[in-house]
Structure 1
Amino acid sequence: MRPRNLNEVVGQQHLVGPGKIINRMVKAKMLSSMILYGPPGTGKTSIASAIAGSTKYAFRMLNAATDSKKDLQIVAEEAKMSGTVILLLDEIHRLDKTKQDFLLPHLENGHIILIGATTENPYLSINPAIRSRTQIFPVYPLTEKDISLAIDRALADQERGLGKMPLELADNARQQLIRAVNGDLRSALNGLELAAKSTDPAQDGKIHLTLPIIEECVQKKALAADKDGDAHYNVISAFQKSIRGSDVDAALHYLARLIAAGDLPSIARRLTVIAYEDIGLANPPAVQRAITAIQAAEKIGLPEARIPLADTVIELALSPKSNSGIQAIDAALERIDQGSFGEIPNWLKDAHYQGAKKLGHGVDYQYPHDFPQDWVRQQYLPDKIKNDEYYHPKPNGEFEKALGIQYRRLLKAQRQPRS
């Protein structure tokens, strides 16, 4: 099911979609060497194959760790004869100096278009000499929608997929296959193929792929709750509400369910939202530590990721809470939705162009840093809504207590009648 052109690539539309960088390179026939980095099974090899298929250039695959300089020389000789070869070099972070020195002149003259693939951060792991001659593009775990699309294609394709087999994939088995692989399409297709080819037809002549079969073939058990279509979102909802409600044990329980399902992307997304929505200004250091823990978890992956995740879940659950930030921005957005908010005051308008002064733009603006304590009373909101208040501080943490005192002090000074 390897894509033969860019249109067949599943996911990574920020790179290969219409109007995006790799799509434009192929369309303009102006390919440059690149490094694709991201988790396994997310389409690095597929993108390289699709580029080759779309451009009709010869396509070769080597591994920087296991293939020798002689293998590179063979590719270079082919490039001299045919004009251009696209070389996918897997594990490019393992490229030693001898191979690197051999490759560099071929990258310079354009005979070899290098597409390096790595799961390591190229800014940290790849030699600057190679890095400076390539464009670096991140690839991301595929979404459930992406995985679902690829499964549909594999089940329907009679030439390269499983379309000739009388398969019946149960809905709950399909959901498990999509979720258990954690954005890794290769694992999903391998599991589906193994299940199809190792299951005997039933009396009706069809091969029924059930939840237990898929669980066995992808080696991930579905949680009991996951057999219900809404259960995945119920677990995530319970996870956030338990942290919001400061119940550490419940929060850890739902975290464990998500970890057991291998759903690191959902954990990372939800914890990021929780940190800012539910803890927010009551404890900004905890929010920052949560983001750091999430980044660490994504970098090291499961199962070790459970350690920083557990630490941050415990801290967030026990932290003071405040949702004043989300309430404030939602109140401001509600005012915008009403459509009646008036003109920006002239003194706040952009004055960095000729003629602005004639329009009154920027005139009478008072630069706060020219005044004591870097503050001066001045109207910033439009006249129609000049008395609007969106932020309502909460006293649940020392940081926001201090913000509240400052907010009320400034508001009082701002609205004091002029003498």
Structure 2
Amino acid sequence: MNKKPLAFRMRPKKITDIIGQQHLVGEGKILSRMVKAKHLTSMILYGPPGIGKTSIATAIAGSTKVSFRTLNAVVNNKKDMEIVVEEGKMSGKIILILDEVHRLDKAKQDFLLPHLESGLVTLIGATTSNPYHAINPAIRSRCQIFELKPLTPDEIIIALRRAITDKENGLGETPINISEEALSFVAHACGGDVRSALSAIELAVLSTDQDEEGSISIDVAAVEECIQKKSFAHDKDGDGHYDVLSAFQKSIRGSDVNAALHYLGRLIEAGDLVSISRRLLIIAYEDVGLANPQAGGRALDAIMVAERVGFPEARIPLANIVVELCLSPKSNSAYKALDAAIDDIRNGKMGEIPDHLKDAHYSGAAKLGRGIEYLYPHNYENSWIKQQYLPDRIKDRKYYVPKLTSKFEQTLASVYEKLSKLSK
């Protein structure tokens, strides 16, 4: 019996064996065109675990007539890479498949770079990390970057059926009767991770006795025990984490309660109260803002309760504030006004502070004309008096543009408009 894991045995040998990733390997797509033209360039394949990055790299390399070797950027040392390069010199060219390419240290990188430049080595790197964040620019600039997607449930089912019937590399030596419900359950529960799905089916088969006719029957109950729960498709430091946080905020900003609760659920399943708390406070001020000024305080109250009680009860105040933020009117007018002011400052649009506003709390200030003509607003009716506050150069500049999405900001807007007219 082949002792290697089923997922390893079922790796595609050529590009036409690849399941999924049709945006890259489908007819007429970039990787298919490369293989057909027999002209591979160095590339980096990235995406979540278990979707076949290394398998696809191997299939791509195997579809050419060029020798290829597989190394790991962490496990293998510079000497291992030197051996690969020497082999390439003998044959004229070689493909290096490099797992965890984002972990490539400087010594290995410096060794590889000239061989990538000369074309002696064609690198196919595989990583779960976003190359634009995790891979050194010197390597990244010499590679095409391709993002791989999690497989759909339908694609997972194709992979499972192939493994069940394959007599050479799969489980096809033994008749296997698996229910459609069991296949569907695994395909949905694995979260797009084909390796996890294949491992679950393999364990279910190996742990189930044959019947009198020598076949094995697999139902939902059997695979439920074998599939590892995939509650979250990333860790707290991974790129997927920030994608979920981004989707969380954008769903609240877009007032989609159901989507916001879905992404909140993902973050809760990851146990990441810190990121949830920080993002909720940002949302309360960035997206809700002046449309519901109480949102910031209420968000902080909910966060304090969540921190005090911890999970699983923390989900209750978090759910409350997420629904409230979703359904609150939205306004970004305040911070957008500040951004406009900062933009002027960074572009040199400032000017001299008017003398009457300058500090006058020191001896000799009056001789310099500091603060002499300043009018103290509290000495006047309604605590307001017309005077210039902005520098001459930008005295007519307006940054604040009210959003009339709530009664509160409508009130602010009416005061703002009245004062603007009086100031002319």
TM range (shorter): 0.5 to 0.7
Could you tell me which residue of structure 1 aligns to residue 149 of structure 2?
140
Q: In structure 2, how many angstroms separate the alpha carbons of the residues matched to 1:28 and 1:103?
A: 25
Q: Shift in Å at residue 81 of structure 1?
A: 1.5
Q: Does the residue aligned with 2:97 lie in a helix, a strand or coil?
A: strand
One-letter amino acid of the structure 2 residue matched with residue 319 of structure 1: L
CA pair 106-170 structure 1, distance change in 2 beyond 3 A:
same
Q: In structure 2, how many angstroms separate the alpha carbons of the residues matched to 1:397 and 1:297?
A: 34
Q: Shift in Å at residue 309 of structure 1?
A: 6.5
Q: Is the 8 A contact 1:294 1:308 kept in 2?
A: no
CA pair 93-398 structure 1, distance change in 2 beyond 3 A:
farther
Q: Shift in Å at residue 322 of structure 1?
A: 8.4
Q: Does the residue aligned with 2:45 lie in a helix, a strand or coil?
A: strand
For structure 2, the residue ranges without an aligned partner over 5 or more in a row are 1-9, 281-317, 330-396, 398-402, 415-424
One-letter amino acid of the structure 1 residue matched with residue 217 of structure 2: H
Q: Does the alignment pair 1:181 with 2:190?
A: yes
Could you tell me which residue of structure 2 aligns to residue 316 of structure 1?
322
CA pair 397-33 structure 1, distance change in 2 beyond 3 A:
farther
Could you tell me which residue of structure 2 aligns to residue 113 of structure 1?
122
Could you tell me which residue of structure 2 aligns to residue 326 of structure 1?
none
Could you tell me which residue of structure 1 aligns to residue 335 of structure 2?
none
Q: Deviations over 1:185-236 (max 9, x none)?
A: 1111122112212221123432111223212222339xxxxxxxxxxxxxxx
CA pair 205-189 structure 1, distance change in 2 beyond 3 A:
same
Could you tell me which residue of structure 1 aligns to residue 228 of structure 2?
219
For structure 1, the residue ranges without an aligned partner over 5 or more in a row are 222-257, 281-286, 324-372, 374-392, 406-419
Q: How many residues align?
A: 288
Q: In structure 2, how many angstroms separate the alpha carbons of the residues matched to 1:7 and 1:81?
A: 29
Q: Deviations over 1:12-43 (max 9, x none)?
A: 11111122221121122221101111111112
Q: Deviations over 1:25-65 (max 9, x none)?
A: 11222211011111111121121111112112222111111
Q: Is the 8 A contact 2:18 2:56 kept in 1?
A: yes
Structure 2 counterparts to residues 35-54 of structure 1, below 5 A: 35-54=44-63
Q: Is the 8 A contact 1:296 1:305 kept in 2?
A: no
CA pair 168-305 structure 1, distance change in 2 beyond 3 A:
farther
CA pair 158-398 structure 1, distance change in 2 beyond 3 A:
farther
Q: Does the alignment pair 1:201 with 2:210?
A: yes
RMSD: 4.0
Compare CA radii of gyration and give the structure with the larger one. 2
Q: Shift in Å at residue 120 of structure 1?
A: 1.4
One-letter amino acid of the structure 2 residue matched with residue 136 of structure 1: I
Relative to the length of structure 1, the TM-score reads 0.59
Q: In structure 1, how many angstroms separate the alpha carbons of the residues matched to 2:98 and 2:249?
A: 34
Q: State percent identity of aligned pairs.
A: 48
Q: Does the residue aligned with 2:171 lie in a helix, a strand or coil?
A: coil
Q: In structure 2, how many angstroms separate the alpha carbons of the residues matched to 1:398 and 1:54?
A: 65
CA pair 277-112 structure 1, distance change in 2 beyond 3 A:
same
Q: In structure 2, how many angstroms separate the alpha carbons of the residues matched to 1:62 and 1:119?
A: 16
Q: Does the residue aligned with 1:41 lie in a helix, a strand or coil?
A: coil
Q: Does the alignment pair 1:303 with 2:270?
A: yes
Question: Paired residue for 1:29, among 38, 41, 63?
Answer: 38
Could you tell me which residue of structure 1 aligns to residue 22 of structure 2?
13
Question: Paired residue for 1:161, among 170, 179, 202?
Answer: 170
Q: In structure 2, how many angstroms separate the alpha carbons of the residues matched to 1:296 and 1:76?
A: 48
Relative to the length of structure 2, the TM-score reads 0.58
Q: Shift in Å at residue 128 of structure 1?
A: 1.3
Structure 2 counterparts to residues 58-73 of structure 1, below 5 A: 58-73=67-82
Q: In structure 1, how many angstroms separate the alpha carbons of the residues matched to 2:264 and 2:135?
A: 20
